[in-house]
Amino acid sequence: MKTSLHLNTLLAFALFGALGAQAAGVDDAVTEIQHDWEVIRYQTPAAEREKRFEALAAKAHKLSESFAGRSEPLVWEGIVVSSWAGEKGGLGALGLVKQAKALYESAIQIDGSALEGSAYNSLGVLYYKVPGWPIAFGDKAKARELLQKALALNPKGIDPNFFYAEYLIETKQPAEAQAYLERALQAPARPGRQIADTGRREEVRALLEKTKSR
């Protein structure tokens, strides 16, 4: 009996160790994708971004396949694909946008709260940025619902406050947007995200100036 209990304990420790190693592996890999995205988005010349995002999308897809069943790689693959679509522009980007939408939806099915609700936030952005039917799936009401879910999960975060403010401006509510932009400027720094924080704060300030000049 004691031998059996001892064996079960060892097996449990081995399982927890393997799960811990897997979690660390996915976290490190996601951090790498995240950093690569930040460098392309904020430090790479505009003329080079489309090709760089295309290459990063392939890398992100391999990560999603390697860690099937985890939400975080799907979120970041979606962000990369969305960014690639943004650089590509025009009708040629619609296929990429739909691909990103499916990735965010898959991430939400697994765990919508992962990465502080980033999948809700990113999917909401797509819903207010893309055209509506019959061209694409754009829907301002759906965008609001998703962005508010992201804000509920991360009320002090720079990204959910910035994008909700942008949504308000897009829907002709610039006065209401100012409070969210001010909140975005007060957002706590994100460890290891200095490039993104610096770039996003510049975008927040530019949008705030625009709302005040209206």
Helix axes 71-88, 94-111, angle to 10 degrees: 160
Average predicted confidence (pLDDT) for the chain: 91
Whether residue 33 is predicted with pLDDT greater than 90 in this model: the reply is yes
Domain with CATH 1.25.40 in the chain: 26-153
User: For residue 212, what pLDDT band results from cuts at 50, 70 and 90?
Assistant: confident
Percent of the chain residues topping a pLDDT of 90: 83
* pLDDT tens, residue by residue, 84-126: 999 999 888 999 999 999 999 999 999 999 999 999 999 999 9
CB 55 within 8 A of CB 17: no
Q: Count the Cβ atoms, other than its own, within 10 Å of residue 58.
A: 10
Q: 31: which residues sit within 8 A by CB, 6+ positions away?
A: 192
> CATH 1.10.1220: does it fit domain 26-153?
no
The pLDDT score that the predictor gives to residue 213 is 75
pTM of the model: 0.87
* pLDDT tens, residue by residue, 169-204: 999 999 999 999 999 999 999 999 999 999 999 999
* pLDDT tens, residue by residue, 149-164: 999 999 999 999 999 9
SS3 per-residue string spanning the chain: CHHHHHHHHHHHHHHHHHHHHHHHHHHHHHHHHHHHHHHHHHHCCHHHHHHHHHHHHHHHHHHHHHCCCCHHHHHHHHHHHHHHHHHHCCHHHHHHHHHHHHHHHHHHHHHCCHHHHHHHHHHHHHHHHCCCCCCCCCCHHHHHHHHHHHHHHCCCCHHHHHHHHHHHHHCCCHHHHHHHHHHHHCCCCCCCCHHHHHHHHHHHHHHHHHHHCC
